[in-house]
Amino acid sequence: MSELKCPVSVLIRDIRTTIESGELNVPRSRRIAEEIQELLGDIAWGRASEAHVDAIQDLAEELGGTTDDRSPEVADLVRSAFADHREIFHSHISSRNCATGDCARLAPAPCQMTCPAGIDIPTYLSLIGEGRDAEAIAVIRRDCPFPWVCGLVCTRPCEFMCVRGRIDKPVSIKPLKGFAAERAMSHGEYRNPAPKPPIGKKVAVIGAGPAGLSCAYYLALEGYAVTVFESRSSAGGMLLLGIPRYRLPREVIDRETAMLKTLGVAFEFNTRFGVDATFQTLKEDDFQAFFIAIGAHLPFKLGIPGETTSPHVIEAVDFLRDVALGWRESPGNKVLVIGGGNVAIDAARTALRLGSREVVIVYRRTRSEMPADPEEVEQAEEEGIGFEFLTIPVGVHDGDKALEGLECLKAELIAADDKGRMRPRPIAGSEFMMEADVVISAIGQQVESDCLASLTTLEWSRRQTISVNTITMETSMEGVFAAGDAVTGPATVIEAIGGGKRAARAIHRCLNQLPQPQFPPVPVRRGRIACAEVPANIKMTIDRPEMPLLNLDRRRTTFQQVELGYAESTVRDEAKRCLRCDICLRCGKCVEICRDKMGVNALSMGYFDFDHPVRTDFRSTAELCILCGACAANCPTGAMDVRDVGTERILSLCGTILNRERLVVCEDCGKVIGTDKYMRFIQKRTGAMPKLVSTERFCDACARQKTAAFSGDKAPV
């Protein structure tokens, strides 16, 4: 790596080095230095406001006044950087650009950038590849406190952006995380980082779902006294009450939430906000900030006759919650589930496991419009769940004691607007009755806002979710923050975790009068792990593994976990498929140099372009590459590397060995002069020049000595 030129990057590096060296012994000075580093990070990433400059300088003065021996020196570093390069700091803020490119050099990999929680995926995959599972979990928990949960149920946006997917298939990021978490927990190596000393400030978190727990975790690490108020008797929120146990065992939730208790987070269970604990009473109890993460638990109604009067129509969220809390009775022999999302699939598969003989999902559109995760749909079909597409329920018919059935209409899809959106249109006269013992409605949920009625100045969106600034998760009420499904509507676990983490940072800044960022956070690189050496043929031929599943009979009858996880050897191999995009930025300079300057064109890397990926084959490099090293010399990040090892010259890209050739040495002095291919390339380029020396191989110096014998002075007359 070349030297940093940008004063912002230099200052960040110097402060980080000082913090990491442990030379700041006084906790207060270390905290101030970390705050300066974080605000500088905002500037480096173009997410700062002008207020950041003043705030950093104020913090530097505060740091200079602490009793730490090293503090004045660090404060001087900041002062002199701002005195000498003030306009560059302002330029970063106004242009959100770094002229030297140094700040961009820290660019996170696409997978990390995509993760709503900003987890440093390449770093933890590399650690898992080396068998360092506990270290991988520590890296993940810097950004997400629930690696095990996410390793089982994350919707894995990272895999959709995985660059490896442009070559063949994305890396199996989610299951690798799950494996490492399970292994670390099993070996007793899943530990909390040390929290900062208590700072005497109290924060109330309303709701113990993934957003609330994440916010609580990161605030507790900062030294805040956090209390989580939860209306249920245990922590987990939708993780516990909405996701069936065959996808996410309760033990996983309990073990990971228990980590918060050991960190000092207090829980008040069976406590309803607005009833048992109100905003006013909590303020009187010295809570200085509030984080609302109450989720979206109120089901939408179908709006059809008989729905609210029949005891045989139940809501999917209520059904799943009851089963999660221990109810184990079959809802009926024949069950109809209305909806096409993941909740409908979960309800149907749960009913099957409780003993229902026939479970059918009724959906108004076709299979291709189903919004549920395709893997979940496929697993449901394997288990015997039926589907009735293009079917619109129009009424529930109740008999004396049992349900007579669900009256439905067949539908056809028509274009409903100029953008091609297809809408189901009922077909007149197509009424028919579907027999059922019970109907489960799974058409979505909304936020249950009653508990927040006393927060009269809290603004709501037209979607009936809490309005927030999505950068800081601040609501319209000062000191009140919100995230999770209460803000987004029913969304993903990892979004809730990311929102909780963002809110924790914003609450910290709010309570310390620090300026808030103006742009969304850029994820933080947590390390630069050395690349594992993998031959190109191995890199290209390892296939993404299939997930082993529980046998079908058990899937249909028990709540045992369906996905069994990979074997250890599979995990270690799969990690090798990672392209290490945290190091290779895919700038294309290596390809350009090789093709345009050298005229060799040995690099077949078609994965650089998101929109139009073309063929990639790392193996083909060896056919043409002359090992000149021009690609490595021009690589801005050190991803492309050429080095002499023993008697060979090896070219590698992030550890993938693209080419290796035996070295040619000077026949006179023994100095390395390149490879055969390189020598032939040079000879071809200089082919017109007279060959003064025969086919013998000499280095430049020895060649000059040899040719001197034929110089004009000594040539015979």
Partner 1 sequence: MVFRQGQKVEIYQKSTDESWEPYMDTYVGLHGVITDPDHTINDPEALVEVSLVDHGTHRFPQDCLRLLDS
Total site size for partner 1, rule CB under 8 A: 52
By CB under 8 A, is residue 394 in contact with partner 1?
A: no
305 binds partner 1 (CB under 8 A): no
Interaction of residue 374 with partner 1, rule CB under 8 A? yes
**Residue 169 is a binding residue for partner 1 (CB under 8 A):** no
Asked whether the beta carbons of 359 and 465 are under 8 A apart, the reply is no
**Minimum distance between the CB of residue 317 and partner 1, rounded to whole angstroms?**
11
Q: Which is nearer to partner 1, 7 or 339 (CB)?
A: 339
User: HSE-up of 541 (CA within 13 Å, CB side)?
Assistant: 6
Q: Is 570 in the site for partner 1 (CB under 8 A)?
A: no
> What is the closest distance, in whole angstroms, from the C-beta atom of residue 104 to partner 1 in the complex?
10
- DSSP assigned state of 560: S
Structure tokens at 462: 């037209």
Selected range binding partner 1 among 257-265, 455-463, 478-486, 545-553, rule: CB under 8 A: 455-463
Q: Segment contacting partner 1 (CB under 8 A): 263-271, 488-496, 527-535, 557-565?
A: 488-496
* Phi, psi of 25, deg, nearest 5: -85, -30
Residue 464 near partner 1 by CB under 8 A: no
- 664 bridge partner residues: 674
Member of 371, 399, 548, 588 binding partner 1 (CB under 8 A): 371
391 binds partner 1 (CB under 8 A): no
Token pair belonging to 66: 């602490």
At residue 521, the 3 state secondary structure works out as coil
- Strand 298-299, strand 445-446: pairing: antiparallel
Q: Does 365 bind partner 1 (CB under 8 A)?
A: yes
Choose which of 64, 341, 500, 674 interacts with partner 1 (CB under 8 A).
341
518 binds partner 1, rule: CB under 8 A = yes
443 binds partner 1 (CB under 8 A): yes
* 172 binds partner 1, rule: CB under 8 A: no
Among 269, 300, 327, 710, binds partner 1 (CB under 8 A): 300
Task: Decide if residue 604 touches partner 1 (CB under 8 A).
Answer: no
* CA distance readout (Å), 601 to 221, 579, 586, 593: 51, 21, 16, 9
Q: Rounded CA gap, 331 and 329, in Å?
A: 6
Residue in the block written with tokens 């742009």: 519
Distance CA 234, CA 256 (A): 13
User: Smaller CB distance to partner 1: residue 317 or 514?
Assistant: 317
Q: Does 114 sit near partner 1 (CB under 8 A)?
A: yes
Q: Give the H/E segment covering residue 494.
A: helix 493-511
319 close to 440: Cβ distance less than 8 angstroms: yes
Q: Counting contacts by CB under 8 A, is residue 269 touching partner 1?
A: no
Q: Near partner 1 by CB under 8 A, which window of 14-22, 127-135, 464-472, 474-482?
A: 464-472
Sign of CA dihedral 511, 517, 518, 524: negative
Q: Is 173 in the site for partner 1 (CB under 8 A)?
A: no
Q: Toward partner 1, which CB reaches closer, 116 or 175? A: 116
The crossing angle, in degrees rounded to 10, of helices 316-324 and 342-353 is: 50
Under rule CB under 8 A, residue 51 binds partner 1: no
* Distance (Å) of CA 542 to CA 124, 167, 391, 525, 538: 19, 12, 43, 27, 6
Buried b (16+ CB within 10 A) or exposed e, 350-368: bbbbbebebbbbbbbbeee
Q: Footprint of partner 1 on this chain (CB under 8 A)? A: 107, 110, 113-116, 155, 157, 160-161, 300, 339-343, 365, 368-369, 371-374, 417, 419-422, 443-445, 461-463, 467, 469-471, 488-492, 495, 498, 518-520, 522-523, 610-611
